[in-house]
Chains A and B, each alone.
Chain A
Amino acid sequence: MAGSASEYIQHHLQNLTYGKLPAGYERADGTVLQDATWTLAHTGREASDMGFWALHIDSLGWAVALGALFLFIFRLAAKRATSDQPGGLQNFVEVMVEFVDQSVKETFHGKNKVIAPLSLTIFCWVFLMNLMDLVPVDFLPQLFHLMGLEYMKVVPTTDVNVTLGMSLSVFALIIYYSLKVKGVGGFVGELTLHPFSSDNLFLKILLVPINFLLEGVSLIAKPISLALRLFGNLYAGELIFILIALLPFWAQWALSVPWAIFHILVITLQAFIFMMLTIVYLSMAHEDSH
Protein backbone atom coordinates (compact mmCIF):
# COMPACT_ATOMS: atom_id res chain seq x y z
CA MET A 1 0.00 0.00 0.00
CA ALA A 2 2.80 2.39 0.93
CA GLY A 3 4.48 1.80 -2.42
CA SER A 4 1.32 2.29 -4.39
CA ALA A 5 0.49 5.42 -2.40
CA SER A 6 3.81 7.06 -3.16
CA GLU A 7 3.53 5.92 -6.76
CA TYR A 8 0.08 7.45 -6.92
CA ILE A 9 1.39 10.73 -5.57
CA GLN A 10 4.39 10.80 -7.83
CA HIS A 11 2.25 9.93 -10.79
CA HIS A 12 0.00 12.86 -10.01
CA LEU A 13 2.91 15.23 -9.70
CA GLN A 14 4.45 14.26 -13.04
CA ASN A 15 3.91 16.54 -15.99
CA LEU A 16 3.16 15.29 -19.47
CA THR A 17 6.58 16.03 -20.94
CA TYR A 18 7.59 16.20 -24.56
CA GLY A 19 11.28 16.47 -25.16
CA LYS A 20 14.45 15.17 -26.70
CA LEU A 21 16.12 12.01 -25.48
CA PRO A 22 19.75 11.57 -26.50
CA ALA A 23 21.04 8.77 -28.73
CA GLY A 24 21.84 5.55 -26.89
CA TYR A 25 19.35 6.33 -24.14
CA GLU A 26 17.74 3.29 -22.58
CA ARG A 27 14.02 3.87 -22.23
CA ALA A 28 11.81 2.64 -19.43
CA ASP A 29 10.61 -0.35 -21.46
CA GLY A 30 14.21 -1.44 -22.09
CA THR A 31 14.56 -0.30 -25.72
CA VAL A 32 17.68 1.65 -26.57
CA LEU A 33 17.35 4.69 -28.85
CA GLN A 34 19.51 4.72 -31.97
CA ASP A 35 19.24 8.47 -32.56
CA ALA A 36 18.34 11.47 -30.50
CA THR A 37 14.54 11.48 -30.48
CA TRP A 38 11.79 13.96 -29.67
CA THR A 39 9.16 12.03 -27.80
CA LEU A 40 6.75 11.95 -24.86
CA ALA A 41 8.38 10.91 -21.60
CA HIS A 42 7.01 7.64 -20.27
CA THR A 43 8.42 7.97 -16.79
CA GLY A 44 9.47 10.71 -14.44
CA ARG A 45 13.10 9.71 -14.91
CA GLU A 46 12.80 10.09 -18.66
CA ALA A 47 11.22 13.49 -18.20
CA SER A 48 14.04 14.75 -16.01
CA ASP A 49 16.65 13.24 -18.35
CA MET A 50 15.25 15.34 -21.18
CA GLY A 51 16.84 18.32 -19.47
CA PHE A 52 16.03 21.85 -20.47
CA TRP A 53 14.87 21.07 -24.00
CA ALA A 54 11.50 19.70 -23.02
CA LEU A 55 8.00 21.04 -22.84
CA HIS A 56 5.34 20.35 -20.26
CA ILE A 57 2.50 19.98 -22.70
CA ASP A 58 -0.16 19.73 -20.03
CA SER A 59 0.88 22.87 -18.10
CA LEU A 60 1.34 24.90 -21.22
CA GLY A 61 -1.81 23.57 -22.87
CA TRP A 62 -4.01 24.27 -19.88
CA ALA A 63 -2.38 27.65 -19.30
CA VAL A 64 -2.93 28.74 -22.89
CA ALA A 65 -6.45 27.35 -22.95
CA LEU A 66 -7.38 29.16 -19.74
CA GLY A 67 -5.73 32.38 -20.89
CA ALA A 68 -7.61 32.13 -24.16
CA LEU A 69 -10.84 31.51 -22.25
CA PHE A 70 -10.24 34.63 -20.17
CA LEU A 71 -9.48 36.74 -23.22
CA PHE A 72 -12.42 35.29 -25.14
CA ILE A 73 -14.88 36.19 -22.40
CA PHE A 74 -13.42 39.64 -21.85
CA ARG A 75 -13.14 40.33 -25.56
CA LEU A 76 -16.79 39.36 -25.96
CA ALA A 77 -17.74 41.85 -23.28
CA ALA A 78 -15.41 44.49 -24.71
CA LYS A 79 -16.96 44.17 -28.14
CA ARG A 80 -20.44 44.62 -26.75
CA ALA A 81 -19.37 47.24 -24.22
CA THR A 82 -21.89 50.01 -24.06
CA SER A 83 -22.11 53.09 -21.93
CA ASP A 84 -25.83 52.48 -21.56
CA GLN A 85 -27.31 49.88 -19.29
CA PRO A 86 -24.76 47.04 -19.11
CA GLY A 87 -25.74 43.40 -19.33
CA GLY A 88 -24.72 40.67 -16.91
CA LEU A 89 -21.46 39.78 -18.63
CA GLN A 90 -20.47 43.38 -19.05
CA ASN A 91 -21.28 44.04 -15.40
CA PHE A 92 -19.00 41.24 -14.30
CA VAL A 93 -16.19 42.31 -16.62
CA GLU A 94 -16.56 45.92 -15.55
CA VAL A 95 -16.32 44.94 -11.91
CA MET A 96 -13.08 43.09 -12.62
CA VAL A 97 -11.67 45.90 -14.71
CA GLU A 98 -12.58 48.56 -12.19
CA PHE A 99 -11.18 46.50 -9.34
CA VAL A 100 -7.86 46.09 -11.14
CA ASP A 101 -7.86 49.68 -12.28
CA GLN A 102 -8.45 50.82 -8.71
CA SER A 103 -5.64 48.63 -7.41
CA VAL A 104 -3.28 49.99 -10.03
CA LYS A 105 -4.24 53.59 -9.39
CA GLU A 106 -3.75 53.26 -5.66
CA THR A 107 -0.22 51.94 -6.05
CA PHE A 108 1.10 53.26 -9.32
CA HIS A 109 0.94 56.99 -9.92
CA GLY A 110 2.79 57.37 -13.17
CA LYS A 111 1.46 57.14 -16.67
CA ASN A 112 1.74 53.71 -18.20
CA LYS A 113 -0.64 52.02 -20.55
CA VAL A 114 0.79 48.57 -19.99
CA ILE A 115 0.48 48.07 -16.25
CA ALA A 116 -3.31 48.01 -15.92
CA PRO A 117 -4.02 45.50 -18.72
CA LEU A 118 -0.99 43.51 -17.56
CA SER A 119 -2.42 43.36 -14.06
CA LEU A 120 -5.83 42.36 -15.34
CA THR A 121 -4.31 39.58 -17.40
CA ILE A 122 -2.22 38.37 -14.47
CA PHE A 123 -5.10 38.40 -12.03
CA CYS A 124 -7.65 36.67 -14.24
CA TRP A 125 -5.24 34.25 -15.79
CA VAL A 126 -3.58 33.19 -12.54
CA PHE A 127 -6.97 32.93 -10.92
CA LEU A 128 -8.26 30.63 -13.66
CA MET A 129 -5.11 28.51 -13.54
CA ASN A 130 -5.42 28.25 -9.77
CA LEU A 131 -9.09 27.44 -10.12
CA MET A 132 -8.19 24.18 -11.84
CA ASP A 133 -7.02 23.10 -8.39
CA LEU A 134 -10.64 22.78 -7.34
CA VAL A 135 -11.38 20.21 -10.01
CA PRO A 136 -11.20 16.83 -8.25
CA VAL A 137 -7.64 15.58 -8.56
CA ASP A 138 -8.41 12.34 -10.36
CA PHE A 139 -11.11 13.61 -12.65
CA LEU A 140 -9.22 15.04 -15.57
CA PRO A 141 -6.11 12.79 -15.33
CA GLN A 142 -8.41 9.77 -15.47
CA LEU A 143 -10.17 11.18 -18.51
CA PHE A 144 -6.88 11.75 -20.31
CA HIS A 145 -5.66 8.34 -19.22
CA LEU A 146 -8.59 6.87 -21.13
CA MET A 147 -7.46 8.89 -24.14
CA GLY A 148 -4.03 7.31 -23.86
CA LEU A 149 -2.07 10.05 -22.14
CA GLU A 150 -0.11 8.75 -19.19
CA TYR A 151 0.42 11.97 -17.28
CA MET A 152 -1.79 14.98 -16.90
CA LYS A 153 -1.28 17.79 -14.42
CA VAL A 154 -4.19 20.14 -14.86
CA VAL A 155 -3.15 22.99 -12.56
CA PRO A 156 -0.58 25.02 -14.50
CA THR A 157 0.44 27.06 -11.45
CA THR A 158 1.66 23.92 -9.69
CA ASP A 159 4.35 23.82 -12.36
CA VAL A 160 7.27 26.03 -11.35
CA ASN A 161 8.04 26.65 -15.04
CA VAL A 162 4.73 28.40 -15.48
CA THR A 163 5.11 30.67 -12.47
CA LEU A 164 8.75 31.35 -13.33
CA GLY A 165 7.81 32.12 -16.91
CA MET A 166 5.41 34.79 -15.71
CA SER A 167 7.60 36.21 -12.98
CA LEU A 168 10.60 36.43 -15.29
CA SER A 169 8.45 38.30 -17.81
CA VAL A 170 7.55 40.70 -15.01
CA PHE A 171 11.25 40.87 -14.14
CA ALA A 172 12.06 41.79 -17.74
CA LEU A 173 9.49 44.57 -17.52
CA ILE A 174 11.04 45.77 -14.25
CA ILE A 175 14.47 46.00 -15.90
CA TYR A 176 13.00 47.59 -19.02
CA TYR A 177 11.13 50.31 -17.16
CA SER A 178 14.00 50.91 -14.75
CA LEU A 179 16.29 51.56 -17.70
CA LYS A 180 13.67 53.56 -19.55
CA VAL A 181 12.71 55.82 -16.66
CA LYS A 182 16.04 56.22 -14.87
CA GLY A 183 18.41 55.65 -17.73
CA VAL A 184 21.33 53.27 -17.58
CA GLY A 185 23.28 55.54 -15.23
CA GLY A 186 20.33 56.01 -12.91
CA PHE A 187 19.64 52.32 -12.73
CA VAL A 188 23.25 51.42 -12.12
CA GLY A 189 23.45 54.18 -9.54
CA GLU A 190 20.39 52.81 -7.81
CA LEU A 191 22.02 49.40 -7.67
CA THR A 192 25.40 50.60 -6.45
CA LEU A 193 24.99 53.79 -4.41
CA HIS A 194 22.30 52.64 -2.02
CA PRO A 195 21.50 51.82 0.70
CA PHE A 196 24.96 52.82 2.01
CA SER A 197 26.24 56.11 0.70
CA SER A 198 28.93 58.51 1.74
CA ASP A 199 30.13 62.00 0.89
CA ASN A 200 33.66 60.75 0.80
CA LEU A 201 34.41 59.63 -2.77
CA PHE A 202 36.83 56.90 -1.69
CA LEU A 203 34.39 55.50 0.80
CA LYS A 204 31.70 55.70 -1.83
CA ILE A 205 33.69 53.55 -4.21
CA LEU A 206 34.47 51.18 -1.41
CA LEU A 207 30.77 50.79 -0.68
CA VAL A 208 29.85 50.04 -4.28
CA PRO A 209 30.35 46.26 -4.15
CA ILE A 210 28.48 45.99 -0.86
CA ASN A 211 25.58 47.99 -2.19
CA PHE A 212 25.58 46.08 -5.43
CA LEU A 213 25.47 42.81 -3.56
CA LEU A 214 22.53 43.92 -1.42
CA GLU A 215 20.56 45.58 -4.19
CA GLY A 216 21.33 42.83 -6.64
CA VAL A 217 20.05 40.18 -4.27
CA SER A 218 16.89 42.14 -3.57
CA LEU A 219 16.38 42.66 -7.30
CA ILE A 220 16.89 39.00 -8.16
CA ALA A 221 14.74 37.98 -5.21
CA LYS A 222 11.74 39.73 -6.73
CA PRO A 223 10.97 37.33 -9.59
CA ILE A 224 12.11 34.30 -7.63
CA SER A 225 9.88 35.04 -4.65
CA LEU A 226 7.03 36.00 -6.97
CA ALA A 227 7.23 32.67 -8.77
CA LEU A 228 7.92 30.47 -5.77
CA ARG A 229 5.18 32.00 -3.63
CA LEU A 230 2.51 31.16 -6.16
CA PHE A 231 4.04 27.80 -7.02
CA GLY A 232 4.52 26.82 -3.37
CA ASN A 233 0.99 27.65 -2.33
CA LEU A 234 -0.62 25.86 -5.21
CA TYR A 235 1.75 22.90 -5.13
CA ALA A 236 1.08 22.40 -1.43
CA GLY A 237 -2.63 22.73 -1.96
CA GLU A 238 -2.56 20.22 -4.79
CA LEU A 239 -0.48 17.84 -2.72
CA ILE A 240 -3.00 17.93 0.09
CA PHE A 241 -5.82 17.24 -2.35
CA ILE A 242 -3.83 14.25 -3.62
CA LEU A 243 -3.26 13.03 -0.06
CA ILE A 244 -6.95 13.37 0.69
CA ALA A 245 -7.68 11.38 -2.45
CA LEU A 246 -5.76 8.49 -0.91
CA LEU A 247 -8.48 8.08 1.70
CA PRO A 248 -11.35 5.66 1.13
CA PHE A 249 -13.86 7.31 -1.19
CA TRP A 250 -16.60 7.58 1.46
CA ALA A 251 -14.37 9.56 3.80
CA GLN A 252 -12.79 11.94 1.31
CA TRP A 253 -15.49 14.59 1.38
CA ALA A 254 -14.96 15.21 5.10
CA LEU A 255 -11.51 16.64 4.36
CA SER A 256 -11.66 17.64 0.73
CA VAL A 257 -14.72 19.87 1.10
CA PRO A 258 -13.30 22.06 3.90
CA TRP A 259 -9.94 22.18 2.14
CA ALA A 260 -11.58 23.13 -1.15
CA ILE A 261 -13.57 25.87 0.55
CA PHE A 262 -10.42 27.16 2.19
CA HIS A 263 -8.67 26.88 -1.13
CA ILE A 264 -11.16 29.22 -2.77
CA LEU A 265 -9.65 31.88 -0.56
CA VAL A 266 -6.09 30.77 -1.30
CA ILE A 267 -6.38 30.76 -5.06
CA THR A 268 -8.01 34.19 -5.14
CA LEU A 269 -5.52 35.57 -2.68
CA GLN A 270 -2.53 34.18 -4.57
CA ALA A 271 -3.78 35.61 -7.84
CA PHE A 272 -4.31 38.96 -6.13
CA ILE A 273 -0.87 38.87 -4.50
CA PHE A 274 0.82 38.08 -7.78
CA MET A 275 -0.96 41.01 -9.38
CA MET A 276 -0.33 43.44 -6.51
CA LEU A 277 3.36 42.58 -6.29
CA THR A 278 3.71 43.07 -10.02
CA ILE A 279 2.17 46.51 -9.69
CA VAL A 280 4.37 47.34 -6.72
CA TYR A 281 7.54 46.19 -8.43
CA LEU A 282 6.72 48.09 -11.60
CA SER A 283 5.85 51.24 -9.70
CA MET A 284 9.16 50.92 -7.86
CA ALA A 285 10.84 50.66 -11.24
CA HIS A 286 9.18 53.94 -12.21
CA GLU A 287 10.18 55.84 -9.09
CA ASP A 288 13.30 57.83 -9.48
CA SER A 289 14.07 58.65 -5.87
CA HIS A 290 15.26 55.79 -3.80
Chain B
Amino acid sequence: MNINLTMIGQAIAFFIFVVFCMKYVWPPIMAALQERQKKIADGLAASDRAARDLELAQEKSAQELREAKQQAAGLIEQANKRAAQIVEASKDDARKEGQKLIEQAKAEIEQERNQARDALRAEIATIAVAGAEKILETSVDASKHNEMLEKLAAEL
Protein backbone atom coordinates (compact mmCIF):
# COMPACT_ATOMS: atom_id res chain seq x y z
CA MET B 1 0.00 0.00 0.00
CA ASN B 2 2.93 2.36 -0.58
CA ILE B 3 2.06 5.33 -2.70
CA ASN B 4 5.04 6.01 -4.91
CA LEU B 5 6.33 6.80 -8.37
CA THR B 6 4.46 3.83 -9.82
CA MET B 7 1.42 6.09 -9.91
CA ILE B 8 3.18 8.60 -12.15
CA GLY B 9 4.56 5.82 -14.30
CA GLN B 10 1.12 4.34 -14.71
CA ALA B 11 -0.31 7.75 -15.61
CA ILE B 12 2.37 8.23 -18.27
CA ALA B 13 1.75 4.75 -19.70
CA PHE B 14 -1.98 5.44 -19.65
CA PHE B 15 -1.48 8.69 -21.53
CA ILE B 16 0.69 7.04 -24.18
CA PHE B 17 -1.74 4.15 -24.64
CA VAL B 18 -4.73 6.46 -24.97
CA VAL B 19 -2.96 8.61 -27.53
CA PHE B 20 -1.90 5.54 -29.50
CA CYS B 21 -5.42 4.14 -29.38
CA MET B 22 -6.85 7.49 -30.45
CA LYS B 23 -4.46 7.87 -33.36
CA TYR B 24 -3.91 4.37 -34.69
CA VAL B 25 -6.64 2.06 -33.44
CA TRP B 26 -9.94 3.88 -33.18
CA PRO B 27 -10.09 5.77 -36.50
CA PRO B 28 -9.42 2.85 -38.90
CA ILE B 29 -11.88 0.58 -37.12
CA MET B 30 -14.55 3.25 -36.96
CA ALA B 31 -13.94 4.09 -40.62
CA ALA B 32 -14.35 0.44 -41.57
CA LEU B 33 -17.52 0.18 -39.51
CA GLN B 34 -19.02 3.30 -41.00
CA GLU B 35 -18.05 2.30 -44.50
CA ARG B 36 -19.71 -1.07 -44.01
CA GLN B 37 -22.82 0.61 -42.62
CA LYS B 38 -22.92 2.82 -45.68
CA LYS B 39 -22.40 -0.16 -47.96
CA ILE B 40 -25.25 -2.03 -46.34
CA ALA B 41 -27.50 1.01 -46.48
CA ASP B 42 -26.62 1.51 -50.14
CA GLY B 43 -27.25 -2.15 -50.84
CA LEU B 44 -30.64 -2.00 -49.18
CA ALA B 45 -31.52 1.16 -51.06
CA ALA B 46 -30.38 -0.43 -54.32
CA SER B 47 -32.48 -3.52 -53.67
CA ASP B 48 -35.45 -1.30 -52.85
CA ARG B 49 -34.92 0.59 -56.05
CA ALA B 50 -34.54 -2.64 -58.00
CA ALA B 51 -37.79 -3.96 -56.53
CA ARG B 52 -39.53 -0.73 -57.50
CA ASP B 53 -37.99 -0.89 -60.97
CA LEU B 54 -39.13 -4.47 -61.33
CA GLU B 55 -42.65 -3.49 -60.33
CA LEU B 56 -42.62 -0.64 -62.83
CA ALA B 57 -41.26 -2.89 -65.55
CA GLN B 58 -43.90 -5.48 -64.83
CA GLU B 59 -46.59 -2.85 -64.98
CA LYS B 60 -45.15 -1.51 -68.20
CA SER B 61 -44.89 -4.92 -69.77
CA ALA B 62 -48.47 -5.69 -68.77
CA GLN B 63 -49.57 -2.40 -70.30
CA GLU B 64 -47.65 -3.09 -73.48
CA LEU B 65 -49.06 -6.56 -73.67
CA ARG B 66 -52.54 -5.12 -73.31
CA GLU B 67 -51.84 -2.56 -76.01
CA ALA B 68 -50.39 -5.17 -78.30
CA LYS B 69 -53.44 -7.34 -77.78
CA GLN B 70 -55.67 -4.42 -78.59
CA GLN B 71 -53.63 -3.64 -81.64
CA ALA B 72 -53.71 -7.21 -82.78
CA ALA B 73 -57.45 -7.33 -82.26
CA GLY B 74 -57.80 -4.13 -84.29
CA LEU B 75 -55.62 -5.54 -87.03
CA ILE B 76 -57.60 -8.76 -87.16
CA GLU B 77 -60.83 -6.84 -87.33
CA GLN B 78 -59.46 -4.63 -90.06
CA ALA B 79 -58.19 -7.62 -91.93
CA ASN B 80 -61.55 -9.32 -91.59
CA LYS B 81 -63.26 -6.23 -92.84
CA ARG B 82 -60.85 -5.92 -95.67
CA ALA B 83 -61.27 -9.56 -96.55
CA ALA B 84 -65.02 -9.14 -96.53
CA GLN B 85 -64.61 -6.12 -98.71
CA ILE B 86 -62.38 -7.99 -101.10
CA VAL B 87 -64.78 -10.90 -101.22
CA GLU B 88 -67.63 -8.51 -101.79
CA ALA B 89 -65.72 -6.66 -104.44
CA SER B 90 -64.67 -9.82 -106.22
CA LYS B 91 -68.20 -11.11 -106.06
CA ASP B 92 -69.32 -7.86 -107.62
CA ASP B 93 -66.66 -8.07 -110.25
CA ALA B 94 -67.53 -11.64 -110.99
CA ARG B 95 -71.14 -10.76 -111.25
CA LYS B 96 -70.37 -7.87 -113.56
CA GLU B 97 -68.02 -10.03 -115.59
CA GLY B 98 -70.66 -12.70 -115.82
CA GLN B 99 -73.22 -10.17 -116.87
CA LYS B 100 -70.87 -8.85 -119.47
CA LEU B 101 -70.15 -12.30 -120.75
CA ILE B 102 -73.81 -13.11 -120.84
CA GLU B 103 -74.51 -9.93 -122.69
CA GLN B 104 -71.69 -10.58 -125.09
CA ALA B 105 -72.95 -14.07 -125.64
CA LYS B 106 -76.44 -12.78 -126.16
CA ALA B 107 -75.19 -10.23 -128.65
CA GLU B 108 -73.24 -12.92 -130.45
CA ILE B 109 -76.22 -15.16 -130.47
CA GLU B 110 -78.34 -12.35 -131.83
CA GLN B 111 -75.78 -11.62 -134.47
CA GLU B 112 -75.53 -15.25 -135.45
CA ARG B 113 -79.26 -15.56 -135.50
CA ASN B 114 -79.47 -12.56 -137.74
CA GLN B 115 -76.82 -13.99 -139.98
CA ALA B 116 -78.56 -17.31 -140.01
CA ARG B 117 -81.80 -15.60 -140.70
CA ASP B 118 -80.27 -13.65 -143.55
CA ALA B 119 -78.72 -16.78 -144.90
CA LEU B 120 -81.97 -18.59 -144.49
CA ARG B 121 -83.75 -15.81 -146.20
CA ALA B 122 -81.46 -16.06 -149.19
CA GLU B 123 -81.76 -19.83 -149.14
CA ILE B 124 -85.51 -19.69 -148.85
CA ALA B 125 -85.73 -17.44 -151.85
CA THR B 126 -83.87 -19.99 -153.90
CA ILE B 127 -85.82 -22.85 -152.43
CA ALA B 128 -89.04 -21.00 -153.07
CA VAL B 129 -88.01 -20.35 -156.62
CA ALA B 130 -87.02 -23.95 -157.03
CA GLY B 131 -90.30 -24.99 -155.46
CA ALA B 132 -92.25 -22.69 -157.70
CA GLU B 133 -90.39 -23.98 -160.76
CA LYS B 134 -91.28 -27.50 -159.80
CA ILE B 135 -94.81 -26.48 -159.29
CA LEU B 136 -94.99 -24.51 -162.46
CA GLU B 137 -92.75 -26.90 -164.33
CA THR B 138 -91.30 -23.90 -165.83
CA SER B 139 -88.38 -21.95 -165.09
CA VAL B 140 -88.93 -18.87 -163.46
CA ASP B 141 -87.03 -16.06 -164.63
CA ALA B 142 -85.18 -15.10 -161.58
CA SER B 143 -84.54 -11.70 -162.70
CA LYS B 144 -88.21 -11.13 -163.60
CA HIS B 145 -89.47 -12.27 -160.29
CA ASN B 146 -86.63 -11.15 -158.28
CA GLU B 147 -88.60 -8.30 -156.89
CA MET B 148 -91.41 -10.44 -155.79
CA LEU B 149 -89.02 -13.01 -154.29
CA GLU B 150 -87.18 -10.46 -152.29
CA LYS B 151 -90.50 -9.19 -150.95
CA LEU B 152 -91.25 -12.70 -149.91
CA ALA B 153 -87.90 -13.16 -148.31
CA ALA B 154 -88.42 -9.98 -146.37
CA GLU B 155 -91.75 -11.23 -145.13
CA LEU B 156 -90.10 -14.37 -143.70
Contacts and interface: CB of A to CB of B under 8 A. Distances in A.
A101 interface: yes
A41 to B, nearest CB: 10
Interface in A32-61: 47-48, 50-56, 59-60
Nearest to B31: A81
Chain B interface size range? 20 to 34
Interface string B1-43: 1111111111101110110111011111111110110010000
Given A54-B4, A121-B17, A166 B11 contact: yes
Interface residues of A, number: 53
Nearest to B24: A75
B29 A94 contact: yes
A120 B26 contact: yes
A207 interface: no
Interface in A68-91: 70-71, 74-75, 77-79, 81-84, 86, 90
A122 B144 CA distance: 164
Name, among B3, B21, B33, the residue most crowded by chain A CB atoms within 10 Å (CB to CB).
Answer: B21
B10 A17 contact: no
Given A52-B3, A82-B32, 18 more contacts: A51-B2, A51-B4, A52-B5, A54-B4, A63-B10, A67-B14, A74-B29, A78-B26, A84-B36, A97-B26, A113-B22, A114-B18, A114-B22, A117-B25, A120-B25, A164-B10, A165-B11, A166-B10
